[in-house]
Each structure stands twice: as C-alpha cells, then as structure tokens.
Amino acid sequence: MAQWFPETDALARQIRRLAQHGALPHAAILSGSGDRLGAARFFAAALLCRQDEGRPCLRCSACRKVIDGIHPDVRLVQDSERRELSVETVRQLRQDVYIRPNEGERKVYIFADCEQLNERDQNVLLKIVEEGPAYAAFLFCAESASALLPTIRSRCVELKLRGEDEASVSEDALALCRAFASARISPVVQLTVGWENRRMKREALQQALEDAWQLCAQALLLQCGKAPGTGPAAETSDALQRALRRHQLQQLVECLRQYAGECRYNVGPGHVLGALAARWEAIIR
Ligand SMILES: [Zn+2]
C-alpha cells in the first residue's frame, strides 16, 4: 500500500477544514519537507470522498481507491525514468483533462515532483490550470514552491507540510484515546464524567473529539499497513491499533466524527459525553 499522510500533520487539519467549508482550491502547491505525495493523496481523497461531512473519511470506496492509488479519476503525473517529463506526457495530459471523470465528480492531477516540470511544460500547464474544466484539480508537490514559475504559483494556494514532530494534539484527546486503548468501559466513563464535572466547554470538547477522531483514523491506517511514526500522538494511535479490532476502530472513528460534528451544532457537552460513553460501551462489549 502507498505510504499515507499523517493525520496529525497540521496540514491534514487544514485540508479537512477547507473541505468542511467546501473551500478546497482547484490548484494547490504542497510544499515543505515530509510526505508531500501522501498529502496530495489526502487532498485528492477530500475532493472525491463520498461522505458529506468529515472528508476525507478514509473509509468510503472513493477514499480507499485514492489511498490505494487505483482511483480512475486521480492521475499521478511523474516519470521515474527521466529527469524531466516527456513532451508526450504533457501533451496527453492536455487532452485527458477534457475527458470527464469516470466515477467521481472531480478529476485530480497530482504532479509528484515539480522539479520534473520544465518551463515549457509549466507554460502548457498554466493554460490548463487557468482555462481547464471546473471539475479538474491540480496538485503540485515540491520541496519549495520556487520550483514553479511565478505565473503558476499565483494561480495556486500553497499548503505547507510541517511534519509529524510539530503536530499538536490536545492532551484531552490523548487521554481519551489512551482510555479507549484500555479496551475497557470504566476508564472512558471515568474520564468523560471528569470532563463533565469540570464543565468542559463545547469548543474544547469539539477539539478533543476531532483530535481523537484523527488518532483513531490513524490507528486504522496502521492496521492497514501504514508505517508507525514517533511522538505521543503516533504512540497513542499505535496503542489503539493494538488494543482494538478493526470493526471497533471503525465504529469509534464514525462515532467520534459524529459527536465532533454535533459539538458544532450547539449540542450541550454533557449530552455529547453521555452519548459517547454509551456508544463506547456498545462498541467494546
Ligand atoms: Zn471518503
């Protein structure tokens, strides 16, 4: 399986937030050090995910295909044989872009290494980025955005990878996920009751549930063969994937997504915490 992008990267949140507001740009540069291609696939999944909320869900058929690199509407543009892309590759792309997507509503072109794009290619691409059909999206991966001509850069939103080390996951989310990783009912109940007693604010609860959701989604990916990372967030995801079965993790991801969403809609924290504890009991039983 293709390597996957860490949910704990700040960029993952940024992409999720953009997707939530229907504001994912149609052209983006994914720059900085780290798994740029993974980030581009994550972005592509957000564009093609079949869920209305919490995109990318990383579970629907569209997300799975993007992760596995077999989605027919996602084209990976690269040439591992040559230093630069061939004229033919770029010419084909210019025609391909006008063929409507197969399965999804979008067609996504991922340029794995912008160092492979010479000036001529970039000028051709500029026209497509500017005048191409509305369903087409272009994701350029580059260590530095300066690999692209200023004309292309000005059409793109630059999204920077910050790497797993700088990821910030709330302490509450870590505590919640460690309680889940106990695979027992009482630690989760104790924790949620404690949160209720300290009158945790809705915004803080939303943040904790969103972070916990990401950690659980990451645990699911670890079970699917993704290589584990380092740091407290990665260790917690690893503990989760060891302690819980796949269907339990799936249910957990789903319920955290749902409750994080309910926090956005003014549902009281006490109600959400009570429901979460009850769901956990059903999942673990
Ligand atoms: Zn999905």
122-153 confidence digits (pLDDT tens): 999 999 999 999 999 999 999 999 999 989 98
Q: What is the pLDDT of residue 170?
A: 86
pLDDT at 4 over 70: no
- Separation of 47 CA from ligand 1 center, angstroms? 9
Question: Which tokens is 64 given?
Answer: 């799975």
- Separation of 10 CA from ligand 1 center, angstroms? 20
- Separation of 196 CA from ligand 1 center, angstroms? 32
- Separation of 120 CA from ligand 1 center, angstroms? 36
Cα–Cα separations (whole angstroms), residue 131 to 83, 85, 136, 147, 178: 28, 22, 10, 22, 50
- Separation of 45 CA from ligand 1 center, angstroms? 7
Q: What is the pLDDT of residue 17?
A: 83
Type of residue numbered 276? L
**pLDDT tens track for 100-115:** 999 989 999 999 999 9
- Separation of 49 CA from ligand 1 center, angstroms? 4
Nearest to 136 by CA among 99, 181, 84: 99
Going by C-beta distance under 8 Å and a sequence separation of 6 or more, which residues neighbour residue 206?
A: 260, 263, 264
- Separation of 61 CA from ligand 1 center, angstroms? 7
pLDDT at 167 over 60: no
Q: What is the pLDDT of residue 193?
A: 94
- Separation of 53 CA from ligand 1 center, angstroms? 9
- Separation of 2 CA from ligand 1 center, angstroms? 17
Q: For the ranges 45-49, 158-162, 184-188, which has the lowest average pLDDT?
A: 158-162
- Separation of 270 CA from ligand 1 center, angstroms? 29
Question: Which tokens is 136 given?
Answer: 């087409």
- Separation of 56 CA from ligand 1 center, angstroms? 5
Nearest to 113 by CA among 31, 10, 42: 31
pLDDT at 281 over 50: yes
- Separation of 191 CA from ligand 1 center, angstroms? 30
CA 218/CA 229 separation, integer angstroms: 10
**pLDDT tens track for 74-97:** 999 988 777 888 888 888 999 999
Q: What is the pLDDT of residue 230?
A: 77
Cα–Cα separations (whole angstroms), residue 85 to 89, 90, 95, 258: 6, 7, 16, 44
Q: Is 246:223 a contact under the CB 8 Å cutoff? A: yes
* Better pLDDT: 1 or 159: 159
- Separation of 226 CA from ligand 1 center, angstroms? 18
